[in-house]
Chain A
Amino acid sequence: MTGTASYRAGVKPVWCPGCGNFGLLSALTGHVLPGLGIDKHQVFIVSGIGCSSRIPGYIDTYGFNSIHGRAITIAQGAKMASPGLTVVAIGGDGDFFSIGAGHLPHAVRRNIDITCIMLNNFVYALTKGHTSPTTPVLEPGAGTFLSREDYPPVDPMLDMISYSVSTQSSFIAQGLVTDVPHLDWLIEEGIKHKGFSFINVLTPCVTFNPPELFKTIKERASYLRDGEPVELPESSGEQPWLHDPADIGLALRLAQTPVLEKPHLGIFFCSHGEG
């Protein structure tokens, strides 16, 4: 029960076979927590409500599968009262960008040292396919996006990276749940970062996303590397610049890129440089 032997709890996940959430589970229990060597009892994982929020039950640390939208507040309270804990808040796009969105800018400005991981699968999957604030809007006639084909999304999506950059979170990163080694690194850096870390993890929902969505994301994805030119989509009129995660101005420019046109993977911004 103690130490760092195995972080994987003996509970079988309720997720669909092939669910992207397995990628995060694997990253946390297989690499990040063992790699950082934090004792199990010193880790507190707080989640909200949704498919991804079942994750604390599958990890053998302290965990709280709480209520919709409030993981980030409960996590802050725990960290404030017990600063020695490593506190990670995990939830979906509904948790962090819909019902709990009001809490996010305040967590950012307080900059309490917790790591917030949003498993963004662009859909409310637990309730069976309703639109979320991150569900892309389709052009008329562009075909169906969700299984609820009679009711495609009508409002523009909320760009999670743009949002977190605009509130100037002190650590902002985006990863792909299928690239676990890269995700490991992002989460490790997020946990090590002394301050509020926001990591948006692009995740496929194998049941309610059309397969093209994640396929497209993977195809268009581009990794951010320090000192190397950033890739911009064709629609961008800008000249590429050299990536510097210490520069919030560059992060703001990067955040102008629509996530589905050019998903950037890596650390957008870190207030004290990377790591």
Chain B
Amino acid sequence: MGPHGSNVELSAVAGPNGMERQPWKKIRETLEGRVRENLTVGMVGAGGDGVVVLGVFLQKLAAGQGYFGQMSRFYGAQIRGGGSAVKLGMNAVALSLPQDSVDILVCFDGEKYLEFGHELLIADDTLVLYDGEPPPGIDLPEASIRFDFTGKSREAVGAAQSKNIVALGLLRAILGLDRDRVREAIERDEELGLVKGGLPAYDAGERLFSGTRFPDLGLSPARDGSAKVILHGNSAMARAAIRAGCRAFFGYPITPASEIMQEMQEELSHGKAVFLQAEDEISSVALALGASLTGAKTMTATSGPGLDLMTESLVLASAAEIPMVIIDVQRGGPSTGIPSKLEQSDLNHAIYGGHGDAPRVVVAPYDVEGCYRLVIEGFNIAQYYQVPVILLSDQWLGQTFVAIKNDFLKQEYPLLERKKPAAEDGGDYKRYLFTEDSISPMADVGDEGFVHQITGLAHNEKGAPAFDFDTHQRMHEKRWRKLLPLCERDDLVRVFGNESAGRGIITWGSSAQIVLETLKDLGLLGKVKVCVPELIHPLPKGVEGFVKSIEQLLVVEMNYSGQFYRYLRSQLDLPKDTGVYARAGGRPFSRGELAAVLKEAAG
């Protein structure tokens, strides 16, 4: 007998065909010796099964013991009663993405599993723990066990609702998370109140395990046991905005960006800060514009359909040189598209959207740390260059919970402010003064001595309407040229892999994570180099340098028409041997999907 004793409590033990059999011997054979550095757990159920809560709690308990983690959330279309699933990858050594297939699947509802089968692939050696009926029409792996989580919950707390807590107890034990530290966390942490309140259910879950030697499907101890902070991209962006000095936020609810608005509401609903949920995105961005003119650092956040509506004010901010930060958490498009799934198809809109020649800056983080750092950068760019900055995130980046070291939250970040006019500039203040760097000192509305006009009409240095050709041409030059120094920002171009490789890959946004990790898994990072531009527009010279240094290029992105590839083509001479792997969103890239194309790219 193993260290855990014997006689696991099983309400029912059934094989895939419903035939009674001896499970433990078989499972032991399949799974023995699988204590490892990283594990992926899938959880799926119907709305109300508490799947997301289960995932959040498990990730939190693991992060408390030092494990890195990434947990993606998947929702069905319904508001309530639809299916939901999470996929949690935990890693004892470094941050990594969940694996394609899950090591453990907790399934509260077999029917609902079918909605997420692609996201939660089952492998031959997956341990499937299911309540009720197993997923229909699927050949379950050997290690499949039916647990009556619902019944255990009823026994323990008199209601079915704590079945997720029962599963939490079981998973804690299977994974081998330190029992005492978990207990302590449950006692201490208010966010785990649901576990504390349902402690009998949690204990029942642990007992499900403790009766026998359960197969060793545990995590090796975290290399660095210090607790990891958990946040998703949306949260990182909201926190960064506050850090950057944002004190006015205007938004309108939209999936998958609403969490940014919610966090900003919590942060800005007191003191002199300004928060408003507007009547639509047309209004939210215009409100932000008005606030910005008085000197406040302002932001709004939306998704593609909202960006459509914001475009007129985006163009106005460009024309009238008004600092502004707009976050677009991209989702499947066009039109209403797939609101709860990722896609990278707003790039064209971000770069080109709107009438007239209206320069703006487009920035795209590819990970949570970048979401934080680049929002601060976005505010700096907006303030310094007096320009609207669009940050392109996406549903996956925005909503995946990441357990990560918190050093980037504590780091110092320089903050830039607007160039202000000197007191002696008063009297004949020119809001749009032509200067060497094309950036004019900007007075806030309300500043004494600098009364001026602002307009979306073509205007002269004073800001007064001016429709003569020469002034119009010069103002265009001013607005475009002031952004040229950004092309030198090679620090916003990330390059990975073998610097001397002649084969290159360019990818952007969240796609970069899976590309990099798949290359690493395949051992190809020594044969290829990867360029991930975080500043998309204007395009930094570093991207041109990268392209010139290679003979073969692959562009990887998640949109049907290859928007980034086309953008690069419009800016640079790409190698003759250039390929593009682009497809519609709606489903994250997997390692399996990318393996072949990346192998080919690496030669």
Instruction: State which residues 34-78 of A face B: CB under 8 Å.
Output: 39-42, 44, 46, 54, 56-57, 60-67, 70, 73-78
Judge if A81 is at the interface, Cβ distance under 8 Å. yes
Instruction: State which residues 423-447 of B face A: CB under 8 Å.
Output: 426-427, 429, 444-447
Instruction: State which residues 1-40 of A face B: CB under 8 Å.
Output: 1-2, 11, 39-40
| Residue pair A57, B454 in contact (C-beta under 8 Å) | no
Judge if B457 is at the interface, Cβ distance under 8 Å. yes
B569 smallest CB distance to A (angstroms)? 33
List the A side residues contacting B429 at CB < 8 Å. 1
| Residue pair B455, A64 in contact (C-beta under 8 Å) | yes
Q: Which of B287, B294, B455 contacts A82 (CB 8 A)?
A: B294
Please report the total number of B residues contacting A with Cβ < 8 Å.
45
Instruction: State which residues 64-103 of A face B: CB under 8 Å.
Output: 64-67, 70, 73-82, 84-85, 102-103
B387 smallest CB distance to A (angstroms)? 17
Interface centre among A73, A74, A81, A82 (most CB of B within 10 A): A81
Judge if B248 is at the interface, Cβ distance under 8 Å. yes
Judge if B139 is at the interface, Cβ distance under 8 Å. no
How far is A102 from B532 in the complex, measured between Cα atoms in Å?
Answer: 42
| Residue pair B312, A11 in contact (C-beta under 8 Å) | no
Judge if B274 is at the interface, Cβ distance under 8 Å. yes
Judge if A253 is at the interface, Cβ distance under 8 Å. no
Evaluate whether A106 and B279 lie within 8 angstroms (CB atoms) in the complex, with A78-B293, A82-B296 already known. yes
How far is A46 from B247 in the complex, measured between Cα atoms in Å?
Answer: 22
| Residue pair B453, A73 in contact (C-beta under 8 Å) | no
| Residue pair B451, A1 in contact (C-beta under 8 Å) | yes
| Residue pair B250, A77 in contact (C-beta under 8 Å) | yes
| Residue pair B279, A78 in contact (C-beta under 8 Å) | no
Q: How many contacts A-B (CB < 8 Å)?
A: 136
**Closest chain A residue, CB of each to CB of B283:** A73
Evaluate whether A78 and B450 lie within 8 angstroms (CB atoms) in the complex, with A1-B426, A62-B445, A67-B313 already known. no
Evaluate whether A1 and B456 lie within 8 angstroms (CB atoms) in the complex, with A70-B286, A81-B290 already known. no
Evaluate whether A82 and B286 lie within 8 angstroms (CB atoms) in the complex, with A57-B453, A64-B455, A73-B278 already known. no
Evaluate whether A42 and B287 lie within 8 angstroms (CB atoms) in the complex, with A66-B456, A85-B294 already known. no
Judge if B289 is at the interface, Cβ distance under 8 Å. yes
Judge if B572 is at the interface, Cβ distance under 8 Å. no
Q: Which of A57, A77, A84 contacts B287 (CB 8 A)?
A: A77
How far is A76 from B285 in the complex, measured between Cα atoms in Å?
Answer: 12
B255 smallest CB distance to A (angstroms)? 22
Q: Could you list which residues of chain A lie within 8 angstroms of chain B, going by C-beta atoms?
A: 1-2, 11, 39-42, 44, 46, 54, 56-57, 60-67, 70, 73-82, 84-85, 102-103, 106, 110
Closest 4 CB pairs of A and B: A77-B290, A77-B287, A81-B291, A82-B294
Q: Could you list which residues of chain B lie within 8 angstroms of chain A, going by C-beta atoms?
A: 247-248, 250, 274, 276, 278-280, 282-283, 286-296, 298, 312-313, 316, 320, 426-427, 429, 444-457, 464-465
